[in-house]
Amino acid sequence: MQEKFEVGKIVNTFGIKGEVKVALYTENIDNFKKNKKIYVNNEEKEVESSRLQKNMLILKIKGIDNMTEAEELRNSIITIDRSKKELPEGTYYIADLIGLDVYTDEGSLLGKIIDIYNTGANDIYTVKTDEGKEILLPGIKDVIKQVDLQNKKIVVHMLKGLI
C-alpha cells in the first residue's frame, strides 16, 4: 500500500507574500488546514494558511515568504501521509485499487484495474484485459462483489450488457 498520496500540484505563485496556487487532486481540503504537515517534492513542510479561490487552492507554506521562493516550487507535487484513521467499511483508497486483478464471480480473470474515476452517480472502474481491451465497470454493489486487498483482487458480477 502507498504510504503517501498525491493531493495537488503547485501551478503558480499568488501575490508577493509567498503564496502559491495549487491544482487539487482531491476534494478534501482538510489536508491543507493550518499546521498540517504536507510534503512538497518529498520535503516536509507545514501549512501556514489555505483558502479556496475559484477552482484553485491558495496555499501559504511556512518558511516561503516571497514570490521568488514561491516560484521555485512551481510544478511541485504535494503529497500527504496516509491517514491513520480507518476508512468506513466498503470504502477504499483509489491508489490501493489500481493494479488489482479483476475476476468474475465465475472465476475468470478479466484484467487489471488501471483507473477509477467518478461520474457523480458512482465510480467507474477501468479494467484492461490481457488483449489490451478496456472494460468499464460501474462501482455499484450489484457489480463489485468483493474487494480483497490482501490477495490483490476484486471479484465482480458481470451484469447483462456490460461487455
Over residues 71-81, mean pLDDT: 94
Those residues whose C-beta lies under 8 Å from the C-beta of residue 58, and which sit 6 or more positions away, are: 14, 19, 20, 21, 22, 50, 51, 52
Q: How far is CA 73 from CA 11, 20, 110, in A?
A: 8, 8, 42
- CA 161 – CA 141 distance, rounded (Å): 16
Average pLDDT over residues 19-38: 86
Q: Residue 14 and residue 75: Cα distance in Å, rounded?
A: 14
Confidence of residue 86 (pLDDT cuts 50, 70, 90): low
- In this predicted structure, what is the pLDDT of residue 128? 96
The pLDDT assigned to 82 comes to 78
pLDDT at residue 135 is higher than 90: yes
Query: pLDDT higher for 85 or 110?
Result: 110
> Which residue intervals of 53-110 are DSSP H helices?
67-71, 94-97
In this structure, are residues 157 and 143 in contact, taking their beta carbons and an 8 Å threshold?
A: yes
DSSP 20-50: EEEEES-S-GGGG-TT-EEEETTEEEEEEEE
Question: What separation, in Å, do the N-terminal and C-terminal C-alpha atoms of the chain show?
Answer: 30
> Could you tell me the domains of the chain?
4-81 (2.40.30.60), 94-156 (2.30.30.240)
| Mean pLDDT value of segment 23-50 | 88
Is residue 19 within 8 A of residue 58, CB to CB? The reply is yes
pLDDT at residue number 1: 61
pLDDT of residue 160: 82
Residue 117 scores a pLDDT above 70: yes
Residue 85 to residue 120: CA distance in whole angstroms: 25
Does the pLDDT at position 85 exceed 60? no
Ramachandran region, residue 152 (left: φ > 0; alpha: ψ -120 to 50; beta: rest)? left
* pLDDT tens-digit map of 140-162: 999 999 999 999 999 999 988 77
Amino acid at 139: G
